[in-house]
Structure 1
Amino acid sequence: MVIGAVLLAIGVVLAIFGGGHDSAEEGAGHAFHWYQRLYANLWINNVYFTGIAIIGVFFFALQYAAQAGWSTGFLRVPLSFGYWLPYAGVLMIVTFFIANHDLFHWTHSYLFDKNDAQYDKIIDGKGSFFYWPMDKGTFPVFYIVRMFLFFGFWIFFFNKLKNLSYAEDLNGGNDYWYNIRKWSAFFIIFFAVSSSVSAWDWVMSIDTHWFSTMFGWYVFSSWFVSGLAAITLITIFLKEKGYLPMVNENHIHDLGKFIFGFSIFWAYIWFSQFLLIYYANIPEESVYFIERLSSDVYGPFIFVNLGLNFVLPFLVLMTRDSKRHGIFLKLICSLILFGHWMDFFLMVQPGTLGHNGGIGFIEIGMLLVYVSGAAYVVFGGLAKANLVPKNHPMLEESYHHHI
């Protein structure tokens, strides 16, 4: 965290005094300021780490809904990710209120004024999605309410599942398992809707003219692979420190299979979205990829993104042995976590900063600060209760898991 803070401070100083604060935004005529890069990075990390936190709770709920027993021994690891959600909610809401005009073009009131030279018919047509029931261009009530609702219900479901799981440790019996399964089903239904709508709100609306009907799936797949990589990394870390004695190479193998499979799923969604837009060649759709692929700033990162998030895990995790050895998975999981952070970097920065973006001291520093903060909160939460749910009815199955 200290290293991250120092790098972030260096990046801010260089941005202020390095001459980049007065450059004109290409084709827009608006001056670019150093703090816009800071805001963009706050938003990238808010969205990315919120996703990892909620995916932890989703993975926990999924195991109960599927009546899975193999994962029981390490279920407290993904559950603990939910401890970051209150912090994520506060950071997201505060960042939006401070930086909305610098992040979201649709927040400017002149876009909805038919008498203004900069009136935008397309954004005006989407205005109710943000501003209902108030006038377009005033206060985005509908948008803000959705943000509060999503975080409110995510935190509610996390606390409900966590409290039931901890109570099971004390009291035992099968009733808790059935109760957690019921609440997991409710959560998964809510998550299915909220994860897609939050992706439209927090990421897709940055490029307000552009839209993709696959975008909810795309963000979910990126979040899910990142969450799986974080779960695997922490499970291996705890195992090597002498905790989680019941977790063996078979459990690690299954986590590796999840990462392998969903890295392919992410690539499938990425390619499907790209192919449909490329093939149709409709200007309002293709502009999203053109401004990224044709950019000197972002073009190379597109290929690094595909290499880290698909080619590398596909080739390395193809064999059985690679999914059973911690050293391979630690390396791959670390690279995947950085790779999917870069995925969100490519979703956010081109639409907010244009050619003024890139990966430098601010980006790396901010990432390290968020990684450290999230890890501190998650491990702190993990230490509050037993690492293993000792009265879980399927614990014995997890002990004897073999593939």
Structure 2
Amino acid sequence: METHNSFNEQFEFNGKAKTWSLIAVVVGIIAIAFGFLTNHGERTFANLLLMGYYFTCVCIAGIFFCALQYAAQAGWSASLLRVPQAFVKVLPYAAVILLLIIGAGLYFTHPVITEEAHQHVTAPYLYKEWALKGITIKGSETYDAVIAGKSDYLNIPFFFIRLAFYLLAYSILGLLLVKYSNNEDELGGMFNYKKSFNVACAFLVVFGFTVPLFAFDTIMSLDAHWFSTMFGWYNFAAMWVSGLAVITLVIIYLRKQGYFTWITVDHLHNLGQLMFGFSIFWTYLWFAQFLLIYYANIPEEAAYFYKRWEPEFQPWFWLNIVVNFLAPFLVLMARDSKRAVGVLKAACIILILGHWLDYYMMIMPATVGAEGRGLGVEEIGIFIGFAGLFTFLLFNALSKFKSLVPKNHPFLQESLHHHI
């Protein structure tokens, strides 16, 4: 297979996919408006943070996928790299949206009753455990000694600088990978591939040091009195599995539409193996974090899970394990299931929804509490809106590539002949 006419084919983003993605965005906007108009501001901001973080994590997973393939000099994936590269091009939009959500959640306030003083104070919609006015000032009615001790790290300017640094670094390194891949298409040779290898290694170093901090800042600081050194890697596992699920689902959809005809069940098998393996890894981290805290039963550690074991959240707590471990474990264990497109598609949808639930359990008990339980207009509508926005931006980015395959990738022929 030396040449393939469809290698020069561009993806055309039009028709039903474009229409439905825009309709979904409108549904999301309506759900956000509904949340604020019905005085569910805190719940609406919590859902915006959930989906903004999820949206960003899936895009970062696309960069991680590309970097991993280049650093490992993997051959099997060379012909499908355009899909995760499109994720890379969406990340700057996702990063800006996430920062705007967090900024608005810190800027806008609402009245709450403090647990200690039992009186009304105004608190930001997000991160109220450490961003509450006067919480680090001795003598203030909202003073908290634990938060005051963390204030050198948990303060709004430094918080934003860190988040902006993480997202900017990921975006720049990811876009360099896309740039060198495009240059490789035009010029051939090994020069741009070697540059991609170097950038991929640099990204993995930066990513390895900062992705736990990204999770600590964005999600763990919602429960600012609690901390876990495993939380960052637990979030990485969720990011990676959900990213793999979205990549696989997009490829399955594009194959059905007549694109990526060179992608075979052998490529899908590899993606299924990765989803299966890292679902087990996610479970290991989830259980290790939970078991150590449960067994030690130290109040300041157990508080995190105590919130999530309240009657309002307990069904979701156990469903999280069923959906993110038991379902993919049983569905994807067999070789044949990873090679059956319909089964793999179902597994992807289960994991995408499952890790939405995983983020829901991280965020809702810490922000809205028992009032945020269950699925309402905000949860469903905002999820649909972000799914539509992601689809629109992703397919629009994919349509900008001059070809759907890196034509001069040195391992392209290995990918085209991939067989397991």
Q: Structure 1 length as normaliser, TM-score?
A: 0.91
Question: Which of these residues, 320, 323, 340, is aligned with residue 355 of structure 2?
Answer: 340
| 1:220 has 2:236 as partner | yes
Three-state SS of the structure 2 residue aligned to 1:239 is: helix
Three-state SS of the structure 2 residue aligned to 1:129 is: coil
Aligned equivalent of 1:193: 209
Letter in 2 for 1:396: Q
Distance 1:82 1:14 in 2: 31
Question: Which of these residues, 330, 335, 338, is aligned with residue 345 of structure 2?
Answer: 330
Letter in 2 for 1:171: L
Q: Structure 2 length as normaliser, TM-score?
A: 0.87
Q: C-alpha displacement at 1:84, in angstroms?
A: 1.9
Question: Which of these residues, 181, 184, 188, is aligned with residue 165 of structure 1?
Answer: 181
Aligned equivalent of 1:136: none
Distance 1:62 1:164 in 2: 15
| 1:44 has 2:44 as partner | no
Aligned equivalent of 1:260: 276
The answer to whether the Cα contact below 8 Å between 1:11 and 1:360 also exists between their aligned partners in 2 is: no
| 1:310 has 2:325 as partner | yes
Percent identity at matched positions? Answer: 41
| 1:301 has 2:316 as partner | yes
The answer to whether the Cα contact below 8 Å between 2:211 and 2:236 also exists between their aligned partners in 1 is: yes
| 1:129 has 2:135 as partner | no
Q: C-alpha displacement at 1:14, in angstroms?
A: 7.5
Q: Give structure 2 stretches of 5+ with no counterpart.
A: 1-21, 107-123
The answer to whether the Cα contact below 8 Å between 1:309 and 1:339 also exists between their aligned partners in 2 is: yes
Three-state SS of the structure 2 residue aligned to 1:118 is: coil
Three-state SS of the structure 2 residue aligned to 1:60 is: helix
Change (3 A) 1:11 1:53: closer
Aligned equivalent of 1:134: none
Question: Which of these residues, 81, 88, 96, is aligned with residue 102 of structure 2?
Answer: 96
Deviations 1:72-116 (A, max 9, x none): 110111111112211112112211221121110211131111112
Distance 2:33 2:310 in 1: 27
Change (3 A) 1:274 1:357: same
Q: CA RMSD of the aligned region, Å? A: 1.5
How do residues 224-263 of structure 1 correspond to structure 2 at under 5 angstroms? 224-263=240-279
Q: C-alpha displacement at 1:195, in angstroms?
A: 1.0
The answer to whether the Cα contact below 8 Å between 1:232 and 1:252 also exists between their aligned partners in 2 is: yes
The answer to whether the Cα contact below 8 Å between 2:272 and 2:332 also exists between their aligned partners in 1 is: yes
The answer to whether the Cα contact below 8 Å between 2:35 and 2:378 also exists between their aligned partners in 1 is: no
The answer to whether the Cα contact below 8 Å between 1:195 and 1:220 also exists between their aligned partners in 2 is: yes
Three-state SS of the structure 1 residue aligned to 2:413 is: helix
The answer to whether the Cα contact below 8 Å between 1:263 and 1:313 also exists between their aligned partners in 2 is: yes
The answer to whether the Cα contact below 8 Å between 2:245 and 2:349 also exists between their aligned partners in 1 is: yes
The answer to whether the Cα contact below 8 Å between 1:264 and 1:314 also exists between their aligned partners in 2 is: yes
Change (3 A) 1:93 1:318: same
Three-state SS of the structure 1 residue aligned to 2:153 is: helix
| 1:119 has 2:143 as partner | yes
Residues 337-346 or 80-89, more deviating: 80-89
The answer to whether the Cα contact below 8 Å between 1:76 and 1:387 also exists between their aligned partners in 2 is: yes
Q: C-alpha displacement at 1:3, in angstroms?
A: 4.9
Deviations 1:226-251 (A, max 9, x none): 00001111111112222212211111
Aligned equivalent of 2:221: 205
Q: C-alpha displacement at 1:11, in angstroms?
A: 7.7
Q: C-alpha displacement at 1:147, in angstroms?
A: 1.3
Residues 287-296 or 8-17, more deviating: 8-17
Letter in 2 for 1:156: I
Letter in 2 for 1:71: S
Distance 1:3 1:179 in 2: 39
Letter in 2 for 1:111: I
Distance 2:407 2:306 in 1: 53
How do residues 17-56 of structure 1 correspond to structure 2 at under 5 angstroms? 17=38, 33-56=39-62
Question: Which of these residues, 319, 330, 336, is aligned with residue 334 of structure 2?
Answer: 319
Q: C-alpha displacement at 1:9, in angstroms?
A: 3.2
Distance 1:102 1:367 in 2: 19
Q: C-alpha displacement at 1:8, in angstroms?
A: 6.2
Aligned equivalent of 1:355: 370
Aligned equivalent of 1:73: 79
The answer to whether the Cα contact below 8 Å between 1:4 and 1:364 also exists between their aligned partners in 2 is: no
How do residues 273-312 of structure 1 correspond to structure 2 at under 5 angstroms? 273-296=289-312, 298-312=313-327
Deviations 1:361-397 (A, max 9, x none): 1111000110110111111111111110000010011
Distance 2:41 2:30 in 1: 12
Distance 2:140 2:51 in 1: 35
Distance 2:215 2:382 in 1: 22
Q: C-alpha displacement at 1:193, in angstroms?
A: 1.6
Q: C-alpha displacement at 1:128, in angstroms?
A: 0.4
Aligned equivalent of 1:28: none
Q: Give structure 1 stretches of 5+ with no counterpart.
A: 18-32, 132-139
Question: Which of these residues, 57, 61, 70, is aligned with residue 67 of structure 2?
Answer: 61
Distance 1:211 1:396 in 2: 48
Letter in 2 for 1:125: G
Q: C-alpha displacement at 1:7, in angstroms?
A: 6.9
The answer to whether the Cα contact below 8 Å between 1:8 and 1:362 also exists between their aligned partners in 2 is: no
Letter in 2 for 1:78: P
The answer to whether the Cα contact below 8 Å between 2:35 and 2:43 also exists between their aligned partners in 1 is: no
Letter in 2 for 1:44: L
| 1:391 has 2:408 as partner | yes
Distance 1:328 1:321 in 2: 9
Letter in 1 for 2:75: G
